Amino acid sequence: MPQLTFLGAARTVTGSKYLVEAGDERVLVDCGLFQGLKELRLRNWDPLPVDPAGIRAVVLTHAHLDHVGYLPRLVSGGFRGRIFCTPGTADLCHIVLPDAGRLQEEDARQANKHGYTRHAPALPLFTEADAFRALSQLQPVGFERPVPVASGIEAEFVNAGHLLGSAMVRMRFVANGGRRVLFGGDLGRYARPVLPDPEPPPEADLLLVESTYGDRVHEEDDDATRLAQLITETAKRGGKVIVPAFALGRVEEVLYWVKRLEDESRIPVLPVYVDSPMAVEALRFYSARYSELDPDIRPARRDLSAFATRRFEEVHSPKQSKDLMRSNRPSIVISSSGMATGGRVLHHLKETLPDARHTVLFVGYQAEGTRGRQLVDGAREVKIHGMQVPVHAQIEKIDSMSAHADRNEILRWLSGAPRVPKTAYLVHGEPEPMETLKAAIEERFGWTVKTPEYLEAVEI
């Protein structure tokens, strides 16, 4: 019987990696980095329980780092197979993987320079060169076209509506009575701008379902009323609105709403800076693949018009970023990383957090152990670049812009399943949301639901 082993995203939200073994073939679905708590991040350094050289292929659901960020390490460890993904995912991987490699190298340099390492010398988890090598192994495949990924194993991508190119992966085991496993990836949301709704789950024997927000219902879409209010009030105080945002996905939605509020004259027209070279590149891919976006914004031409606010500015050089950081003019600054764990947004936060005029607005999930989580949990000070920074700025969170389905949306999506799966496995969630969602699925559908542990193996 084919086997499935949970090598990540098991009772946690990062490190997505699922090993499929059938006969002599091994395929990895997703190849993500562990992020957040230190004990999790350290797992990135553990040897994989399987030799990378013995893996035939990798199949990716989407280009967020917790789903693709381990690829360069897999490649440096000897993986030489093909990496199947949608064309949109391939585009975005070209942005995120080399950047992740550069960051790893930079971290190692810093650790060596300041001596805060027990390892001498500190080494990067992988390098930019490893990332480029991984990119050369990408094999883009369109949606809903089953392709053989290994002997006797086919995979097919189905739109998940979570990020440009995001997909669920349905795997079919030709030699084993055509059994099917659906890897749900991260599930997008219904009736949101920018991306289309997720497709209903295709028929499968086993189902892997994310549970990030398994115990939550996102606040209802208020037509951006609160966003308008926050921007207007902050501008009146003469402050800036700092939006830590994941470079991929959230930036587009924030820009969409700000542009709409401007068009409807519901906010003052402020300079809007996207201070993230990655986010700027991602915007171009979104615009170029406009046919994959939500039908409502599709007529937007092949340019940035769907996202270009009136005083839209891309920030490229570190110098521009520093000037912007020191400027006290009211403006909206969108910068990554989304959980304030690194990136240029840290400089903006260092500057704005101590000042009550400013607002810091979180629009995405804040994982345990991150600075973003500390701030939304009400920390009075946070440590940035070794300094204690007092928090006087207004800290806000708008959940309705989340890219992840909430409990009701997950249930709505599951209700579209053409038949009862043998087992539904909950993944990609912290234990509490997972247990709540498990109970909800059992009660509503009467399915067998399991919450596998790290390194647990099950029969397919």
Report how far residue 341's alpha carbon sits from residue 385's, in angstroms, rounded to the nearest whole number.
Answer: 11
Point out which span in 57-65, 81-89, 278-286, 426-434 binds Zn ion (CB under 5 A): 57-65
Residue closer to Zn ion (CB basis): 186 or 205? 186
Go through 173-187 and write b for each residue having 16 or more CB atoms within 10 A of its CB, e for each that does not.
Answer: beebeebbbbbbbbb
Residue closer to Zn ion (CB basis): 163 or 241? 163
Tally of CB atoms within 10 A around 359? 22
Mode of pairing for the β-strands spanning 138-140 and 82-85? parallel
Point out which span in 6-14, 59-67, 216-224, 282-290 binds Zn ion (CB under 5 A): 59-67
Q: Number of residues in contact with Zn ion, rule: CB under 5 A?
A: 2
Residue closer to Zn ion (CB basis): 64 or 348? 64
How near is the Cβ of 373 to Zn ion at its closest, in Å?
17
Maximum distance among all Cα pairs of the chain, rounded to whole angstroms: 66
State the residue for tokens 């795997």. Answer: 171
How near is the Cβ of 3 to Zn ion at its closest, in Å?
25
How near is the Cβ of 334 to Zn ion at its closest, in Å?
18
Residue closer to Zn ion (CB basis): 185 or 452? 185
Residue closer to Zn ion (CB basis): 21 or 210? 210
How near is the Cβ of 365 to Zn ion at its closest, in Å?
9
How near is the Cβ of 383 to Zn ion at its closest, in Å?
27
Residue closer to Zn ion (CB basis): 64 or 179? 64
| Burial class of residue 152 (count of CB atoms within 10 Å of its CB; 0-12, 13-18, 19+) | middle
Contact flag: residue 30 with Zn ion (CB under 5 A): no
How near is the Cβ of 56 to Zn ion at its closest, in Å?
25
Angle at 334 between CA 333 and CA 336, to 5 degrees: 130
Residues 6+ away with beta carbon under 8 Å from 113: none
Residue closer to Zn ion (CB basis): 285 or 312? 285
Point out which span in 61-69, 205-213, 280-288, 448-456 binds Zn ion (CB under 5 A): 61-69
Q: What's the DSSP call for residue 453?
A: P
How near is the Cβ of 404 to Zn ion at its closest, in Å?
7
Q: Which residue type sits at 236?
A: K
How near is the Cβ of 411 to Zn ion at its closest, in Å?
20
Whether a cis peptide bond, with omega within 30° of 0, leads into 337 is: yes
Q: Restricting to residues 370-399, name those near Zn ion by CB under 5 A.
A: none
Torsion 33-382-240-320 (CA) sign: negative
Torsion 93-96-101-104 (CA) sign: negative
Tally of CB atoms within 10 A around 280? 17
Report how far residue 162's alpha carbon sits from residue 18's, in angstroms, rounded to the nearest whole number.
Answer: 19
Residue closer to Zn ion (CB basis): 182 or 270? 182
Is residue 403 within 8 A of residue 250, CB to CB? The reply is: yes
The binding track of 166-195 with respect to Zn ion, each residue x by CB under 5 A or -, is --------------------x---------
Contact flag: residue 64 with Zn ion (CB under 5 A): yes
Residues that bind Zn ion (CB under 5 A): 64, 186
